[in-house]
Chains A and B, each alone.
Chain A
Amino acid sequence: MDRRTFVIGTTATATAFAAGPAFAQDAFPSRAVTIICAFPPGGANDIVTRPIAAALEPILKQPVVVETKAGAGGQVGAQVAASAKPDGYTLLSHNNGISGYAEVDKLFGRQPKTTRADFIPLARLIADPVLLVVNDQQPYKTLKDFIDDAKKRPEAIVYSSGGLYGATHLPVAIFEKATGIPKLRHLPTNGGGPAITALLGNNAQMSTQTVSATLQHIKAGKLRALASFGGARSKVLPDVPTLKELGYDAEYYLWVGIFAPKGTPASALATLSAALDKAAASDVFKNVVSGLGQEFAYLNAKDFEAFWTADAKRSDEAVQLIGKQG
């Protein structure tokens, strides 16, 4: 190597380094992308985020790392993502919870840490309709039986949820309002699994849980689904009527979505959103969704935004209906 090429080479390298940020913007992504998962392993978020990350890697041609930041019902992860540098390299995997924090904070007179405006929706990965399930020791055969009994015995029927103002608590509030029944008695637990355990052990009589979480127990006859909060009947449970069919205006899904922090450049958003569309069409991801017993419910950025707006409205209303406890 003579001196001239050395100088040229060094200068070129130095220029490339100096132009680093601008260069990176042109060819996003130029390094690993991190998806912050706001819920611990074992939950739906973790289960669907890891395969989507695996499917994204060959498309973005960069490593996609899933980093768990769980805690306080998903608030820790949301706060971390909201305060991350909005350059497209930090994304957030969250669920219904992200809609309600601000409303709950308002209820308690707290300054909201994050609001919906802090996040840009990129994709809805799954949407699992919620079912109203009772255990096999209950006499109810139809939703009408349940509603009649609930009217007769106010605050006597106990329902379990995965946590206050959570995705398995809000649907009950929506249901109470739609049917006009007096309030049911709430047994909060610390997660979806414990809530189902409480129901199976007859420590609670009813719960609103997703199709994939309860399907096996329904098939085994331990739980009975009286109605679905879905827009249409579930393909795996065709005999369960939807609340809409029965004439009640109630709809609720447990969904998982990918978000970017506010301020992420539009070019990065376009790349990510196109990559997510492609990753969702991959076999790896589709197999996981069907393995979970769910129907394919992916929504791209535009459709997800519309869905999220409607869903957040339902969630805010439900939080207000529940009000402040104790």
Chain B
Amino acid sequence: MESTLLSLAHGFAVAFQPDNLWYAFLGCLVGTLVGVLPGIGPLSGISILLPVTFGLNATQAVIMLAGIYYGSQYGGSTTSILMRIPGEASSVMTCIDGNAMARKGRAGAALCIAAVGSFVAGTFGVIMLTLVAPPLATIALRFGPPEYTALLVLGLIFLAYMSSTSLVRTLLMACIGLLLGMIGIDNMTGHFRYSFDLAELGDGIGIVPVAVGLFGLGEILSTPSHKVRGEVISPKFRELLPNRQEWGESVMPIARGSVLGFIIGIIPGSAHIISSFLSYALEKRVSKHPEEFGKGAVAGVAGPESANNAASTGAFVPMLSLGIPTGPITAVLIGALMIHGVPAGPQLVTEHPDLFWGFVASMYVGNLMLLALNLPLVSVFVTVLRIPYAYLYPLIIMFCIVGVYEVSHSIVDVYIMLIMGVLGYGLRKFNFDPAPLVLGLVIAPLLEQSLRQSLIMSNGNYFIFFSRPIALGLLIVCAVLLALSALAFALKRKDWRAKLAEAEAGEAQG
């Protein structure tokens, strides 16, 4: 512990060198822009700027490139809140309540809460990274395919809490999402499934084009069909900040989101995508007013936003202490380190303490910089809403197209987005919530792959899920959740059909 603090102090000495401070700032600034502009994601931002770092030393390079990564997580919520366009998979959930808050004139509050939540989660993540990285990373390695399968089963159960519409509608959407997730090359046999001879569909349908289409385009298409208020909202500065009640409602979700996000973030693989979904579902489950979710619940912004930031910091744990990537972005960072002659691996801390601790310390500083950058920007962003729809919406459509194309330079993705836009319009008209569809699409390929991998490992024996402690633990949580729901039904002495009819009736009224 003492030696950790000593090393961290040394790290701060490195991080506070003017050069390093400058590159941290540069990274955070670019990251904020990358996050806010829908046309460019953190992955392409980092890889385009990679050659720029050839002239720098390894520490400066990683400080700057990582700044782009965690910086982009701050700005990522902006378009979700203001325009209902998720810039990436992790901000899908922010679209729902963030945008609902904006409609109630609380866009500034939502943006502030997102920024502060991101700051708290980011800082919490760095503290955890400082204290427990090496032992935690070893545990994270035990998270193999069976554990993944169990986690995703938990995700499926949480689906039920995802949406404010009825359970039947939620499950219907989820099933469509799961089916869409089946498209692409079957990793286990090499067969192309439902790809219609398009190589672009080989890796399946991307999450970003679907999310942008369903949420962003669907929203825009449906606007002309309902009454649009003529006057433009121009909030006073005081109204930009969250009020006391909103702060109070966001404290616990931020705390829970930070912890949940960090835990999911350290798992190697693509699990970090589901951190914001799980956080949203968790908040809805524990909330005293679950009916507010979808209509501008503060917790629905605070939780997921914190979770995705903590997850992005958590992703550094396996990268720094084991040298294994948790996703494409950490893979690029590892590549950047290698180019600079610093191989990321288990010996990074001992062989390059300057770089390791300097980098960790720079993240404390970087998170502060980001808070200072983002809070004043809130008032700038909110003014975007003053642009009349006639001018704003064509611009948004342009950004949607550019942004979706930019993710993988694929015109097929743009078509997918346009199709999903039309579908999103239809879903909105018939009061279906697209969020479970997106979660289904995220979960399906992961669940299929990890289930089949597990069965390869066990040679077809399903007992593997009960013989590994972490997997067993997660499955027990699933069982308890299901039992609790069943109990609630039993206590009310109603069978599910009656409950369903009641729910449908309530919906028809509402």
Contact = CB atoms under 8 A, between A and B. Distances in A.
A251 interface: no
B199 A113 contact: yes
Nearest to B333: A42
Contacts of B339: 47, 51, 287-288, 291-292
A219 interface: yes
Given A68-B408, A187-B457, A291-B338, A216 B345 contact: yes
Interface stretch (A12-20, A117-125, A189-197): A189-197
A197 to B, nearest CB: 5
B144 interface: yes
A326 B408 contact: no
B345 A75 contact: no
B324 A72 contact: no
A5 interface: no
B51 A51 contact: yes
Interface string A278-304: 000000100110111100000000000
A88 B344 CA distance: 37
Interface stretch (B183-191, B391-399, B486-494): B183-191
Contacts of A190: 187, 449
Contacts of A290: 341
Contact of A201 (B141, B202, B345): B141
A33 to B, nearest CB: 16
Interface residues of B, number: 53
A63 to B, nearest CB: 12
B344 to A, nearest CB: 7
A43 B328 CA distance: 9
B408 A71 contact: yes
B202 A73 contact: yes
Contacts of A200: 141, 322, 324
Contacts of B408: 68-71
Residue of A76, A202, A288 with highest tally of chain B CB at under 10 A? A76
Interface residues of A, number: 62
B169 interface: no
B104 to A, nearest CB: 40
A53 B331 CA distance: 20
B386 interface: no
A197 B190 contact: no
Given A51-B54, A201-B143, A165 B190 contact: yes
A241 interface: no
A271 B190 CA distance: 39
Contacts of A293: 338, 343
Interface in B260-282: 268-269
Interface stretch (B7-15, B42-50, B432-440): B42-50
B409 A40 contact: no
Contacts of B292: none
A50 B50 contact: yes
A73 B185 contact: yes
A132 B10 CA distance: 39
A102 interface: no
Interface string A72-106: 11011001000000000000000000000000100
A135 to B, nearest CB: 10
B39 interface: no
A186 B456 contact: yes
B331 A68 contact: no
Contacts of A30: none
Contacts of B449: 189-190
B187 A71 contact: no
A187 B453 contact: yes
B353 interface: no
A187 B455 CA distance: 10
Contact of A194 (B189, B269, B346, B409): B269
A158 B457 contact: yes
B345 A217 contact: yes
A75 B202 contact: yes
B264 to A, nearest CB: 16
Given A41-B43, A46-B47, A325-B190, A185 B331 contact: no
A188 interface: yes
Contacts of B154: none
Given A194-B268, A201-B144, A41 B343 contact: no
Contacts of A325: 188-190
A216 B346 contact: yes
- Nearest first, the 3 A-B pairs at minimum CB distance are A216-B345, A72-B202, A42-B331
21 contacts: A41-B50, A42-B325, A47-B335, A68-B408, A71-B408, A72-B185, A72-B202, A76-B410, A185-B456, A188-B187, A188-B188, A189-B453, A193-B324, A202-B144, A203-B144, A203-B145, A204-B457, A219-B347, A287-B341, A291-B339, A326-B189
Given A189-B449, A292-B339, 14 more contacts: A47-B338, A68-B409, A69-B408, A71-B408, A72-B200, A73-B185, A108-B190, A185-B456, A194-B268, A200-B141, A201-B142, A204-B457, A216-B347, A324-B190
